[in-house]
Chain A
Amino acid sequence: MPKSQHSFTSIRPKGEALVWFTGMGLSVGILLIIGLLGIILKNGLSMFWPDTIYEVQLVEGSTAGPRNGQNFAGAIALERHKRLQEATNAGLTSEFQFFAGNKDAYGQMYHYVDADQIVTDATGEPLFTPASGILQLERIEFGDALGFPLEIQLADGTTITEPEALKAALFKTIEESNERLETYTKIEKKQIGRINSKMESIRLEQRALREELGEAAAETSPQIQELNEQQAALQAQYTELAAEARELRERRHQDSLLLRLATGEERRISFENITQAHFPNEMSLPGKVGFFLKQIWRFMSEAPREANTEGGIFPAIFGTFVMTLLMSLAVMPFGVVAAIYLREYATQGVIVRAVRISVNNLAGVPSIVYGVFGLGFFVYVLGGSIDELFFSHKLPTATFGTGGVLWASLTLALMTVPVVIVATEEALSAVPRGMREAALACGASKWQAIQRIVLPASAPGILTGLILAMARGAGEVAPLMLVGVVKLAPSLPLDGEFPFVHLDRKFMHLGFHIYDLAFQSPDSDAAKPMVFATTLLLIVLVIVLNLSAITIRNHLRKKYKGDTF
């Protein structure tokens, strides 16, 4: 007995070190993901939080502040240690980055100030006092303004200077001004837009008639006469609407707010330029949370401004969503049908094996290659032919013969089809043989067995392939730059204008938006938080798309679960 016990305990778990090794691999991976998500979350969300604005006093003779002055107000955007180029006795010192806004007055919104340039308190720490009563204005142009409100001058001549009344009038005027903006945007975009598209079609008809009848005969023909009359009527409507819109614009322009900046100067800002105002230092915590949520919503629902460094990213979210959806619609049937033939019908042999290897290798082709192919084949060949056949009256303006959401979706579908084929083949081969045999023994043809039994049973596996394809497609940027993504799209690929779905339109995409903000932006400091926020949204969008696919898959799995196999 003792002997056997001895031999039992002497067996050393020889693989233990390798277990640690695998555990380490996993932990490194998890740490990387958590770290990445943490950085994105912190930087992305901090963009929406109303930061406290401090009054900053610089030491005598310092020129680090805006306009080289010694006083300014700003939020601390960054604090970091700085290694001085010249050796000093300290060697290390801190550096602050302040957000001072007022780009129109200061030239730039962010300012770097060394810690030793700032007046310190008794303990030697830099002295920051919250600027009481400071107002932060979000503007259409020149970014945010920071300052103390002095007076509001309305178009009807009233002037408000008393602080409490001014505060109330400020919010009321912004609301009215935004309503006016909405009204005239509706007039300009919808009504005038409709008139413009009608006039364009009349112009095309006139051109066609002139070509048909000849220049001279056309002038006297009744059709042309009628078209001219229609044109004149539309022109009159246009003038009327344009006047209405101009009046509203004028009114917005005339209301104005006088602001004293912390640097001392005064500036008058027209309300047409103001989209939102808040007093960051006077907000309670619930107020800040409400503001935070409202800012997130605005970021997701508004269009970008100021070369994409201000405003929201709604068109990019929408464009990404529509493109991913179209891509899924294209890739699913294509990939599934190909996989069914490969797995179920093709004689398994050298050729099929070669095809399978090629398909697997296609997944490794650099995506830019697909972009070039998409540009050459879809845009120039297919799109060009469609233009010649169906849109020749618009030439030389290209309709489909230029990048657009359809071609981008098809290019990505082509890129992700190997993923779907491989996943579908796996799923098909995992369907138990007994189930096929049962179907065939019931008198089903091979296609009926596939369609009614094999495909439904393999649907969860096929959806897994689609999930992978969507994740890859939604995050792809390089090929899209060639086949239809733009920095700023004037209109969405889906809207209320007939025929509602505009597959020929160029679109915005979150992935490209990130690239554009990070590397093509005129103001990289202002764009930085936008980059993180956009990245966060792209991740959220991919997660949402995947979760919905996973939900469907789990539902199907539950339906087909069982211990029969």
Chain B
Amino acid sequence: MIQAPKTTDSREDFEPFIQIKDNYNFWYGSTQVLFDLNLDIPEKQVTAFIGPSGCGKSTLLRSINRMNDLIEGIQHTGDITIGDQSIYDPSLEVISLRKRIGMVFQKYNPFPKSIYENIVFSLRIAGRNKKSELDEVVERSLRGAALWDEVKDRLHESALSMSGGQMQRLCIARAIANNPEVILMDEPCSALDPIATGKVEELIHELKKDYTIVIVTHNMQQAARVSDRTAFFYLGKLIEYDVTDNIFMKPKNDQTEAYVSGRFG
């Protein structure tokens, strides 16, 4: 696996791009799942959220593009900003927020359409139907997702005829079709075999040149391999957040150390 060149500096000297601030709390109905979070995510780097199941890392990820809005009875306090704009700004349409944020899900979920139509979906719903523009976006996205050479001859075949790894990379291509600023990845490799996982990890490494990536993962080796910074969550609280090497080599917190060394989780 390719080792990403890591930022070894642990000082908070970057310009935060995504900020989770003002003690962000989150409830499903009356159950609080996130507690007093404050977290700065740098631009064009990979930030990994790790922690045992039920620690709230996915909930936090899905808060960033407000996917949690689909669930009834949710509440929050605090704020999340992307490039200094609050995602809860009443003047901001949630749809335009999501257009700035691509998302890749745990289980690959291509639409039951052709490969081509999967990628241009976000353009079509925005009313952009010009053929030349769509063709260009398809090629750029598929190249970006390292899928172009594999599928360029069958763009109009059903996306469901691809292999699992290809489908997940198609979902990544779909996520970057709209040129988002941020890509959220919710355990993108958990349904893939090791070879497909390797390809996706390589891809993440390439993508961070252009995009800010936030990834939730259960796989600590993966977090160590792909991320620049890592946040460790436990029971809805942020336990430790630092440069990845520090989290894995010299964690400051005992719980973090126990988790990354595999003693619980």
Query: Is A445 engaged at the interface, CB distance under 8 Å to the other chain?
Result: yes
Q: Report, as a range, how many residues of chain A touch the other chain.
A: 20 to 34
Q: A441-B102, A559-B158 are in contact. Are A434 and B121 (CB under 8 A)?
A: no
Query: Is B264 engaged at the interface, CB distance under 8 Å to the other chain?
Result: no
Nearest-neighbor residue (CB-CB) of A348 within chain B = B72
Question: Which of chain B's residues have a CB closer than 8 A to the CB of A456?
Answer: 112
Q: A437-B70, A440-B67, A562-B158 are in contact. Are A445 and B95 (CB under 8 A)?
A: yes
Question: Which of chain B's residues have a CB closer than 8 A to the CB of A452?
Answer: 121, 124-125
Within the complex, the shortest CB–CB distance from A434 to chain B, in Å, comes to 4
Nearest-neighbor residue (CB-CB) of A561 within chain B = B160
Q: A443-B95, A452-B121 are in contact. Are A560 and B171 (CB under 8 A)?
A: no
Say yes or no: A435 contacts B111, CB within 8 Å.
Answer: yes
Q: A437-B105, A439-B121, A441-B102 are in contact. Are A564 and B110 (CB under 8 A)?
A: yes
List B209-223 residues whose CB lies under 8 Å from chain A: none
Complex Cα distance A452/B124, Å? 10
Question: Which of chain A's residues have a CB closer than 8 A to the CB of B105?
Answer: 434, 437-438, 441
Q: A443-B126, A443-B178, A564-B160 are in contact. Are A438 and B171 (CB under 8 A)?
A: yes
Query: Is B103 engaged at the interface, CB distance under 8 Å to the other chain?
Result: yes
Indicate which residue in A347, A441, A443, A457 contacts B112 across the interface (CB closer than 8 Å).
A457
List B123-166 residues whose CB lies under 8 Å from chain A: 124-126, 158, 160-161
Query: Is B99 engaged at the interface, CB distance under 8 Å to the other chain?
Result: yes
Query: Is B30 engaged at the interface, CB distance under 8 Å to the other chain?
Result: no
Question: Which of chain B's residues have a CB closer than 8 A to the CB of A27?
Answer: none
List A377-431 residues whose CB lies under 8 Å from chain B: none
Indicate which residue in A443, A560, A563 contacts B122 across the interface (CB closer than 8 Å).
A443
Complex Cα distance A285/B109, Å? 62
Query: Is A448 engaged at the interface, CB distance under 8 Å to the other chain?
Result: yes
Question: Which of chain A's residues have a CB closer than 8 A to the CB of B174?
Answer: 438, 442
- Per-position contact with B for A529-565: 1 when CB-CB < 8 Å, else 0? 0000000000000000000000000000001111110
Query: Is B237 engaged at the interface, CB distance under 8 Å to the other chain?
Result: no
Say yes or no: B67 contacts A448, CB within 8 Å.
Answer: no
Question: Which of chain B's residues have a CB closer than 8 A to the CB of A563?
Answer: 160
- Per-position contact with B for A85-126: 1 when CB-CB < 8 Å, else 0? 000000000000000000000000000000000000000000
Nearest-neighbor residue (CB-CB) of A436 within chain B = B70
Query: Is A29 engaged at the interface, CB distance under 8 Å to the other chain?
Result: no
Question: Which of chain B's residues have a CB closer than 8 A to the CB of A434?
Answer: 105, 107, 109
Question: Which of chain B's residues have a CB closer than 8 A to the CB of A437?
Answer: 67, 70, 103, 105, 109
Query: Is A23 engaged at the interface, CB distance under 8 Å to the other chain?
Result: no
Nearest-neighbor residue (CB-CB) of B107 within chain A = A434
Indicate which residue in B122, B161, B167 contacts A442 across the interface (CB closer than 8 Å).
B122
Complex Cα distance A442/B173, Å? 11
Complex Cα distance A434/B104, Å? 10
Nearest-neighbor residue (CB-CB) of B112 within chain A = A560
Complex Cα distance A82/B232, Å? 93
On chain B, the number of residues with a Cβ less than 8 Å from chain A's Cβ atoms is 31
Query: Is A432 engaged at the interface, CB distance under 8 Å to the other chain?
Result: yes
Q: A435-B111, A564-B110 are in contact. Are A441 and B67 (CB under 8 A)?
A: yes
Question: Which of chain A's residues have a CB closer than 8 A to the CB of B160?
Answer: 560-564
Indicate which residue in A435, A442, A453 contacts B178 across the interface (CB closer than 8 Å).
A442
Interface centre among B96, B99, B111, B160 (most CB of A within 10 A): B111
Complex Cα distance A564/B122, Å? 20
Query: Is A444 engaged at the interface, CB distance under 8 Å to the other chain?
Result: yes
Question: Which of chain A's residues have a CB closer than 8 A to the CB of B107?
Answer: 434, 564
Question: Which of chain B's residues have a CB closer than 8 A to the CB of A432?
Answer: 109
Interface centre among A435, A438, A439, A441 (most CB of B within 10 A): A441
Interface centre among B103, B109, B122 (most CB of A within 10 A): B109
Say yes or no: A442 contacts B98, CB within 8 Å.
Answer: yes
List A428-480 residues whose CB lies under 8 Å from chain B: 432, 434-445, 448, 452-453, 456-457
Interface centre among A437, A443, A559 (most CB of B within 10 A): A443
Within the complex, the shortest CB–CB distance from B69 to chain A, in Å, comes to 9
Q: A437-B67, A438-B105 are in contact. Are A443 and B110 (CB under 8 A)?
A: no
Within the complex, the shortest CB–CB distance from A8 to chain B, in Å, comes to 39
Query: Besides A438-B171, A564-B108, 14 other CB < 8 A contacts?
Result: A434-B109, A437-B109, A440-B70, A441-B102, A442-B98, A442-B121, A442-B174, A442-B178, A444-B122, A445-B95, A448-B125, A452-B121, A562-B160, A562-B161
Give the 6 A-B residue pairs with the shortest CB-CB distance, closest first.
A562-B160, A434-B109, A443-B99, A441-B103, A560-B112, A442-B122
Name 10 interchain pairs, CB-CB below 8 A, sorted by A.
A434-B105, A437-B103, A439-B111, A441-B67, A443-B178, A444-B121, A445-B95, A456-B112, A560-B112, A564-B108
Interface residues of A (CB under 8 A from B): 347, 432, 434-445, 448, 452-453, 456-457, 559-564
